Structure 1
């Protein structure tokens, strides 16, 4: 049977529409459903980096992203399970204080990918872990802190003495000693992940003892430094725009490489229990030293040159910062 030209065109259009309709569900399915569970406000510096990376993926059209913040310990397991039951392909969060609960939910939903901030090991088949191994830029900021301190007394105010905090503080102190072997350290943990007033008071106490540079592992420290006109070093995020005369430098954590690697694995159906910590290193863009910005002309040229040389050696693999998870101790007198 022969078809007229009009019939051929009509058939082609119909076929094209059928292909488009068939492709539509596939395109929709390419957007992964991703959920995050945060035990603190999403504006808190650590989880804020996770949120930033997930929002970037959502803006690219790769994922549909939802999250819960300020989730209490009593609700943590339930919230995780609810997201899994709702069909989210990837669930991200921090399990440091709820390791047992998070791993229990992961075992119940073996087809769901869990990527959790954790000091523990991955658990087969679907519980992967990550952490902010930004020891390299932390070391560099320690160098800057020691070089900018006039008293040689440096204060460190942090949340809890856990591995992910300890390793950064130890790296920072090692960097400071690299510039000033006689540097003295005051160390305080406020036993909270989010208590700016308490962190501020701890910083005030250090300043009263002669500290003139503060490592701001928690919010509130830079406020104290600003009020007392001493310097601060940022951690995880760059807050110099809010403290242009106070924050000299910051060790930045970029969560994008970690999130992008996890999304690629889920899409390829190759997600597995593994440690994503390597995606926080400088060589893959997971960590970096923030630009000096307002302090570009205030940091001595010789100090900048020494920091630049150390950073170059790190990127080339010629200088490695030791990962030390032990609780840091002060040596102030």
Structure 2
């Protein structure tokens, strides 16, 4: 049996941090394992933190009274994150999921003080004896978005509203461009960096600025549905991100790349319960069920849908790698030779644009 609670008594210091605090689940006689989730944005009903919270709910459904979960939303990266993660560890949480790249150093510092707590950090690369890392091949979804965008654009100008210039975001931008140019070699991608994961007003301004540059299909690597809403209002096309955002743009959303975290959360907590938890660095995608695509908009022509589904099938069966050679950067220099795949380490540290992406990456 599960009950919601504010957990303000347990984590009262969070009030001083100015972060949202909520919980789900209440201890039962068998002392369930306490699992904490730290979110960079509000849970809301769409986007990155929403997708992670769906995973938390899947964990609760799967393990029932064996688990008690807490989530803290809108936790800023940096000192606030470290205080929140430390408070979760000190209040009896045995497993803690830190769900933003910028939490990486905070996780490392807290984990060293709590060797008996298991920490999992999303999208990072630093592990420890009690720290695992998990990531998704979300770029598989952005490649498929690009295939549709290459078909649907009339101006051959595509746009991406991007958060921070870190490898995971650069990968997604490049995959979007590669997918588009696989069906439309004339397509180009313009990027506006907003330096935030979640700021609907700033995201909206960036989308409008891209439209002013002639962009007629919009992508994003930010967390709010603002881009889909702008496209809906302007009669253009866009893609949902992290979750299905079609209710914000029923005419504009062509599809959405959706992240399904539940399987990983269930496996990780089960391992903690049965004593088999091990340090790990996993990257799951469509084959493992972590990345899925929302249904296609009825406006997608048959030819575009056929190319989309063919590419999706190729990713699923391993015959299509979005970062297979020949792969050139903006200058035309071959970075991956024909017949080769980009090494995983290079992919995980990507800091350059492929051909077709305009502009430069901020320092």
Query: If the length of structure 2 is used for normalisation, what is the TM-score?
Result: 0.78
Between Structure 1 and Structure 2, how many residues are aligned? 301
Matches within 5 A, 1:294-305: 295-296=297-298, 298-305=299-306
Distance in 2 of aligned mates of 1:203 and 1:328: 20
Larger Rg: 1
| CA distance 1:316–1:118, change in 2 (3 Å) | closer
Is the Cα contact below 8 Å between 2:104 and 2:121 reproduced in 1? no
* Dislocated runs of 4+, deviation >6 Å: none
| CA distance 1:246–1:166, change in 2 (3 Å) | same
Give a deviation string over 1:277-309, Cα, whole Å, max 9, x none: 23xx111110112111xx23x211112112211
2:332 corresponds to which residue?
A: none
- Structure with greater proportional helix content: 1
Larger RCO (alpha carbons 8 Å, 6+ apart) = 1
Distance in 2 of aligned mates of 1:249 and 1:194: 20
2:143 corresponds to which residue?
A: 139
Match of 1:57 among 51, 59, 70: 59
Is the Cα contact below 8 Å between 2:103 and 2:121 reproduced in 1? no
Matches within 5 A, 1:33-112: 33-43=34-44, 45-60=47-62, 61=64, 62-72=66-76, 73-112=78-117
In structure 2, the gaps of 5 or more residues are 1-26, 324-346
Distance in 2 of aligned mates of 1:75 and 1:172: 33
Distance in 1 of aligned mates of 2:104 and 2:141: 28
In structure 1, the gaps of 5 or more residues are 1-24
2:275 corresponds to which residue?
A: 269
Which one is further off, 218-227 or 171-180? 218-227
Distance in 1 of aligned mates of 2:33 and 2:47: 25
- Secondary structure, aligned partner of 1:331: coil
How far apart are 1:52 and its partner, in Å? 1.0
1:130 and 2:134 aligned: yes
Which one is further off, 217-226 or 133-142? 217-226
2:6 corresponds to which residue?
A: none
How far apart are 1:230 and its partner, in Å? 0.9
How far apart are 1:94 and its partner, in Å? 2.9
How far apart are 1:164 and its partner, in Å? 2.0
Give a deviation string over 1:82-123, Cα, whole Å, max 9, x none: 211222111011352242221011011111110111422322
1:326 and 2:351 aligned: yes
- Secondary structure, aligned partner of 2:279: coil
Match of 1:208 among 212, 215, 218: 212
Give a deviation string over 1:44-100, Cα, whole Å, max 9, x none: 621221111111222341421111122243332222122112221110113522422
Which one is further off, 34-43 or 203-212? 34-43
